Amino acid sequence: MKILLPYLKAVVEGAVPEGPTLRDSLNEMDRISKDTDMGLDPKLRHYLQMRSYSKALDWLNGNGVEK
């Protein structure tokens, strides 16, 4: 789900002028997390729905986040 990376980075690391705004990032991640056609992994969907954006970014980067 590389589509999420710029949005997660904007929230976790801070928005940059050439990237999405914080508001756009939050809106888009909410939309993606609710879209059943996106085929999100259940764990990633959970992180997004619970707004655990650092964990979602770690999960996407393959860092195997655990509780």
Range of the domain at 64: 1-16+41-67
Give a yes or no: residue 33 inside a domain: no
pLDDT recorded at residue 64: 57
Contact (Cβ atoms closer than 8 angstroms) between residue 25 and residue 15 = yes
The tally of CA atoms less than 13 A away on the side-chain side of residue 67 is 1
Distance between the two ends of the chain, CA-based, in angstroms? 21
Higher pLDDT, 23 or 65: 23
* Percent of the chain whose pLDDT exceeds 70: 93
Query: For the chain, how many structural domains are there in total?
Result: 1
Give a yes or no: residue 47 inside a domain: yes
Give a yes or no: residue 32 inside a domain: no
Give a yes or no: residue 30 inside a domain: no
Give a yes or no: residue 3 inside a domain: yes
Give a yes or no: residue 26 inside a domain: no
pLDDT mean over 3-20: 92
Contact (Cβ atoms closer than 8 angstroms) between residue 47 and residue 58 = no
What are the pLDDT digits (tens) for 18-43? 889 999 999 999 999 999 998 899 99
**CA distance linking residue 51 with residue 26, whole number of Å:** 9
**CA distance linking residue 27 with residue 58, whole number of Å:** 20
